[in-house]
Amino acid sequence: MSLIAIGALLSAGLAVATSPVQADEAPSEELIVNGGFEDGLSGWFVNNGNPTDGASLAVTDDAFSGDAAAQTTGRQTTGSGPMQDLSGKLQAGSTYTVQARIKYDNPASPATKQFFATMHYGGGTYTNVGDVVATRGQWAHINSTFTVPAGQGVTTARLFLETPWTSEPGADPDLHLMDFVVDDVSLVGAPPPPPPSRTVEVAGKLPGDHNPLLGHKFGADGFGMVHDGRVYMYMTNDTQGYAPDPVTGISPQINYGDINQITVISSTDLVNWVDHGEIQVAGPNGVAPFTNNSWAPGAVTQTVDGVEKTFLYYANGGGSSNVITGESPLGPWSSERTSTLINASTPGTEDVAWRFDPAPFVDDDGEPYLYFGGGPAATSMPPAERYNNPKNLRGIRLADDLVTTEGSAFVVDAPVAFEAAHVFKRDDLYYLTYSSHFGGSDFGGNQTPLPGYPGGGQIGYMISDDPTVWDKDTYAGVIFPNQSEFFGTGTGGNNHQSVFEYEGKFYFTYHAPTLNKRINGNQTQGYRSPHIQELTFNEDGTAVQVVGTYAGVEQVRDFDPYRVFEAETLGWTKGITTARTDLPSAEFGTDVPNLVVTDVDNGDWTALSSVAFGDSGAASVTAHVRPLQEDVRIQVRAGSETGPVLGTVDVDGTVGEWTEVTAELTGATGTHDVFFTYAGAAGDLLEIDTWQFTEAGGEPTLDVTVTTDARCVVGRSVLTLRVTNGEDHPVTVQADTAFGSKVLTDLGAGRSALHAFTTRQVSVPAGEVDVTLSADGVTVPLTVPYAAHSCG
């Protein structure tokens, strides 16, 4: 993740107020929420556009009308006044009328004072849109009409009240920083535009290709983590700022400053990926609200004090890094910290410009480390050293709790380093990969790198026998050239990588704006997509340089359709998106987020790669859906979106309500790519939660997990039985053992139950529990073994 520094300077310009004009018959509405402060301060906060801004905002009964107004005290800057976020509500080229009542009473302040209503359009763009000269002790009235310039970006739009700018207002606070009261704030004009659709209407990941990993959303800085046989990929949520123009289909350039979510996907075959949605990491409603951004994540799962946890590290902008903790790789998430993990006070980081891109690594002996850093080299270095050996990366030991650090950070002397330090281990060697810089004044001016050193935006690597020793002599070469060498015009820029081992092979992750290119052609806007290639090694331990391809990696295993699986498990897509739902996840449990496939229109499709129906084949397919209109059809096809039809699902049921629909299949044998094509009238057709195929001639199944264990209680063995119901309806469970029987009646959807059978024996031999599951007329017998156990 490269840092874009955006300076914000408060506007000092004046605006000429105009009289309200007669509005046309075009529709208009009130865009300010709680403008009279009768609901307290709901919708309001103090302007925070600059780090120096600050004030206190409180409700007062000294109101122009009604019972309440807002009083601003303790102002630190002239712009420190009440503000409301109007992002997404304004339209460029449209005209608005702004009104506000303002009063100040400070007897030490001048007899009159000018006040402004000001729009902040993001960055350093401030525009005064109305003003009034108020008389001390009297209510003044801002009443002005303004037009947002046709070319003005309005992705960010915030209205606030202020006094005229001056560089040192604290020199005379009575003149510049007086307290004031505001009431009856109003902004009337064109109604908010419909939110831009983020749905990718093209096939962004072409059938047969395995890169990019997703065709329906973006994701950058991918970090691969393997846990319990599944690969999890954590990514910067590039989709968060994607807002294509409804006419041109082109989005504004990506704005990293708006990103405060992490996207999570997972797979067991590296081609079909489950979309787990986004984690709201930072921002006021985030897991760690004391951070503003969440870029370049890294994750590791570790047992701490007997409890397995997942630790998700991320960059809080360029200045610091942090960590949140999950009960599983999918959460739920919480913050064990109240301040950032890596920041300017971290020992050994004094010369690091960007304390970001945190990548965890746990050694075989359990010792945890965190690698991070990047950005401009220290100006105290000679120009050649700043360019070739900027010494801007660091590593540091983590404490056993993985949420605090130990000691001082050590230097990583990576040649031509920019960012994205990441360490992995193979055999007895440690490998550190990183992204290289592009030169320029931050690195001593434009120069030519030393022979063998990386060029701009490449991924270099180092090899060491010690995870804390990374001097320039450990440099081993370029492991991945700039991605534009493989994907052409519009796909260059910096990169960010990780390496993970899965089932005996190593894999290299990286990003490139390939989906963005498929949508808009060569003029991409910086929205990046995750990719994976296999990583191989020479006999001497050096890496074989990775070649980026659309083909990607081979599928690890065929897809098993004979189970309930999430509809947001996607190999390829066209025209759909995904969204959070309150429904419990049938596949991953009730404690983690669940998504559905949505924005499904006529002609859209989703697909799975290499579905193994087997020799017997599939007799039927069942979908859990919510129809949004009548006469919707799903066709199950083999090979392509126009391939042979294996079956047609007629989506009947009440519009707007969840239901299960089933269709018989013909010819669903062997292994095929499977496409679900959707047909119906114009508009959104349905939402899809899960799929399940039933094997021809196969026994009925229920998604219920039954496990056994044994423990000692007062010197006697106790056999425990745990039952987890993964169905979306209750299940009755009967368990028969040599030590008694138990019936669990109507175990609820997503619920678990535990029952203990007292054996009254010091030791018990291995045996079996006979279990009968029943629900909705389906009966499934199970035999669950248990091991011998002794308390002697």
174 is catalytic: no
221 is catalytic: yes
The continuous run of DSSP H or E covering 567 comes out as none
Contact 288, 312 (CB under 8 A): no
CA distance linking residue 78 with residue 10, whole number of Å:
9
According to DSSP, the β-strands at 230-236 and 95-103 are unpaired
Tokens of 720: 């425990």
Cβ neighbour number for residue 749 with a 10 Å cutoff: 16
Q: What is the DSSP letter of 440?
A: S
Q: Which two tokens stand for residue 329?
A: 């790789």
Q: What gap in Å lies between CA 293 and CA 316, rounded to an integer?
A: 5
Separation of first and last alpha carbons in the chain = 58
In angstroms, the CA 480 to CA 545 distance is 6
DSSP letters along 17-37, please?
Answer: --------SS--EE--SSTT-
The C-alpha atoms of residue 125 and residue 224 are separated, in whole angstroms, by 39
Q: Map residue 443 onto helix, strand or coil.
A: helix
Contact between residue 601 and residue 573 where contact means Cβ atoms under 8 Å apart: no
**Which residue(s) pair with 722 in the sheet?**
707, 754
Opening angle at CA 763, ends 761 and 767, nearest 5: 100
Residue 623 forms beta bridges with which residues?
Answer: 661, 691
Residues in the chain: 792
Active-site residue identified among 162, 269, 419, 641: 419
Q: Which two tokens stand for residue 325?
A: 């903790």
Q: With contact defined as beta carbons under 8 Å apart, do 330 and 282 qualify?
A: no
Write the CB contacts of 759 (distance below 8 Å, at least 6 apart in sequence): 716, 717, 718, 719, 739
Residues 6+ apart with CB under 8 A from 64: 101, 103, 139, 183, 184
Give the count of beta carbons closer than 10 Å to the beta carbon of residue 503.
12
* Cross-strand pairs, 412: 393, 470
20 DSSP β-pair partners: none
139: how many CB neighbours lie within 10 A of its CB?
Answer: 17
In sequence order, which residues have a C-beta less than 8 Å from that of residue 154 and are 6 or more positions away?
87, 90, 91, 92, 121, 148
Distance CA 586, CA 563 (A): 10
**Helix/strand/coil (H/E/C) assignment for every residue in 675-687:** EEEEECCCCCCEE
Helices (H), 44-122: none
Helical ranges in 467-615 per DSSP H: 484-487, 514-520
The single residue of 183, 221, 689, 703 carrying the catalytic annotation is 221
Alpha-carbon distance of 323 to 335, in angstroms, equals 7
Hey, how many other C-beta atoms are within 10 angstroms of the C-beta on 141?
Answer: 12
Active site residues per annotation: 221, 419
